[in-house]
């Protein structure tokens, strides 16, 4: 097969606008010659992409020796792990890892974190625009109006041993909540409930976000032995979350305002990151048209994997195993000899400094007293200091993941290492639910990828 992009002329004669449009359309094509058949195809390039279904027309006679190649059905696009495949269109988040750009709904992340609050960003992700003062006030009232999950949800969480992984408690709590709301489950109700049903979708967004905060707080309290505080409708979303978790200043009995500000900033920075593994898991599930909680459970479960969000927990526990700053160099040496991995370094997207990192480091400076009191954080920064100067890391562009530095912020604020990942999931829930809402405004099309069969063929059982 020969593939050529249509060349753009070095110089073009003056022409009218209609001709320019036509020329642009002709130039934005890909010319393909299938050497198996000699057939030539011209495929349109839109948004620097080719519709994969265009290749289905490129058929060849059946390969009788390897019939499972299905050559007569058209060419398939092989892309393990979606490394170069766009699976959906979205208006929510844009990032450019080569230029260090991250924006929500067109607003640069730096503008949002320095000029707006978390509630503004949460609203922006879901509704597509920054709220007016009246919209912001109503949004906070809507979130505060959601009642506590039923007792059965709390009983499920408390059925776990307190030393169980909090992520497991959260997934179970979400499942228990879904089971208690059968009328919002499409299969149980025997009909589609959500596709293009804007009113129900919007109400579910509010319900899921408020319920996720309460379920996460209850899981934290059960895991840590803290008393669960009843939600306070007069508090903001993040402050109320810390209040329910009983993560309060002993001197005042209320959440520390400095910690509330830090968590809000973190949750702005980590709220969404475009098509991550967990976002894809959510959308894959959502494509079969279940309820929002089912899709969120898929996303949370994907996030727990050690190649995704779970890497943060692994990284932190690995740092704890280093023990002291004296052992930091030995850890780096083992990584360079490929005896160990340094979880939390390197990023699938960014090849330059993560645009979120500068703001997270500012927060760590604000929490300097807390950082200085934590010996584990001293080890983490010692490892980072060595890695940032070591040629092995610098030449490979291996920089610390911004999410890793976010774990340091949580740790400085007193969160246990095994609840840092649930806090990160809480921040991501805003973006995940925004993607679910966007998917429900589209068309019904289940995600059904193909595979390339490489097993044996034509085997028979002896008589």
Q: Are 384 and 352 a contacting pair, CB within 8 Å? A: no
**Count of Cβ atoms closer than 10 Å to residue 174 Cβ:** 24
- Supply angle C-alpha 322, 328, 333, rounded to 5: 105
Residues pairing with 43 in the sheet: 30
Q: How many C-beta atoms lie closer than 10 Å to residue 361's C-beta? A: 15
Rounded Cα–Cα distance for residues 164 and 159 (Å): 10
Is-catalytic flag, 347? yes
**Catalytic residue selected from 207, 222, 347, 435:** 347
**Is 14 buried (19+), middle (13-18) or exposed (0-12) by CB count in 10 A?**
exposed
Residue 384 CA from chain centroid, whole number = 24
Here the tokens at position 196 are: 């293009």
Q: How far apart are CA 166 and CA 174, in angstroms?
A: 12
- Catalytic-role residue among 120, 291, 354, 403: 403
Helices of type H across 367-419: 368-372, 375-389, 391-394, 402-412
Taking CA 89 as the corner, what is the angle to CA 85 and CA 93, rounded to the nearest 5 degrees? Answer: 100
Q: Cβ neighbours of residue 47 under 8 Å, at least 6 residues apart?
A: none
Question: How many helices (H) and strands (E) are present in the chain, helices listed first?
Answer: 20, 6
How many C-beta atoms lie closer than 10 Å to residue 424's C-beta?
Answer: 21
Contact partners, residue 321, CB within 8 Å, separation at least 6? none
Reply yes or no on whether 418 is catalytic: no
Q: Just list the catalytic residues.
A: 347, 403
């Amino acid at each position: 097969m020969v593939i050529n992009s249509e060349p753009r002329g070095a110089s073009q004669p003056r022409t009218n606008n209609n001709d320019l449009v036509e020329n642009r359309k002709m130039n934005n094509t890909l010319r393909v010659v299938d050497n198996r058949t000699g057939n030539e195809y011209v495929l349109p390039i839109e948004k620097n992409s080719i519709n994969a279904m265009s290749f289905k027309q490129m058929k060849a006679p059946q390969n009788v020796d390897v019939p499972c190649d299905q050559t007569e059905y058209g060419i398939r696009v092989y892309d393990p792990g979606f490394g170069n495949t766009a699976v959906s269109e979205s208006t929510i988040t844009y990032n450019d890892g080569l230029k260090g750009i991250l924006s929500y709904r067109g607003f640069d992340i730096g503008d949002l974190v320095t000029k707006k609050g978390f509630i503004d960003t949460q609203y922006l992700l879901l509704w597509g625009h920054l709220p007016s003062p009246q919209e912001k006030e109503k949004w906070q009232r809507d979130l505060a109006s959601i009642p506590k999950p039923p007792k059965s949800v709390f009983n499920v969480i408390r059925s776990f041993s307190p030393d169980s992984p909090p992520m497991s408690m959260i997934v179970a709590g979400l499942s228990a909540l879904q089971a208690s709301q059968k009328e919002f489950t499409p299969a149980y109700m025997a009909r589609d409930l959500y596709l293009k049903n804007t009113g129900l979708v919007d109400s579910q967004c509010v319900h899921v976000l408020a319920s996720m905060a309460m379920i996460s707080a209850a899981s934290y309290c059960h895991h840590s032995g803290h008393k669960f505080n009843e939600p306070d409708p007069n508090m903001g979303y993040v402050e109320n979350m810390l209040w329910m978790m009983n993560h309060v200043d002993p001197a005042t009995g209320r959440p520390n305002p400095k910690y509330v500000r830090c968590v809000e900033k973190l949750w702005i920075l980590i709220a969404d990151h475009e098509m991550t593994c967990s976002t894809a898991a959510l959308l894959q599930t959502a494509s079969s048209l279940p309820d929002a909680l089912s899709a969120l459970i898929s996303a949370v479960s994907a996030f727990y994997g050690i190649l995704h969000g779970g890497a943060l927990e692994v990284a932190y526990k690995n740092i704890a195993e280093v023990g002291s700053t004296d052992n930091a160099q030995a850890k780096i040496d083992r990584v360079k000899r490929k005896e160990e991995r340094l979880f939390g370094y390197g990023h699938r997207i960014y090849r330059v400094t993560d645009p979120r990192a500068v703001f997270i480091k500012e927060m760590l400076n604000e929490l300097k007293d807390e950082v200085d009191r934590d010996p584990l954080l001293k080890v983490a920064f010692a490892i980072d200091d060595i890695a940032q100067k070591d040629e092995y890391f610098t030449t490979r562009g291996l920089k610390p993941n911004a999410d890793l530095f976010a774990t340091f912020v949580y740790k400085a604020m007193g969160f246990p290492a095994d609840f840092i990942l649930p806090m990160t999931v809480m921040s991501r829930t805003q973006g995940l639910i925004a993607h679910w809402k966007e998917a429900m405004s589209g068309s019904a099309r289940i995600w059904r990828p193909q595979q390339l069969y490489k097993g044996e063929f034509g085997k028979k059982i002896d008589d």
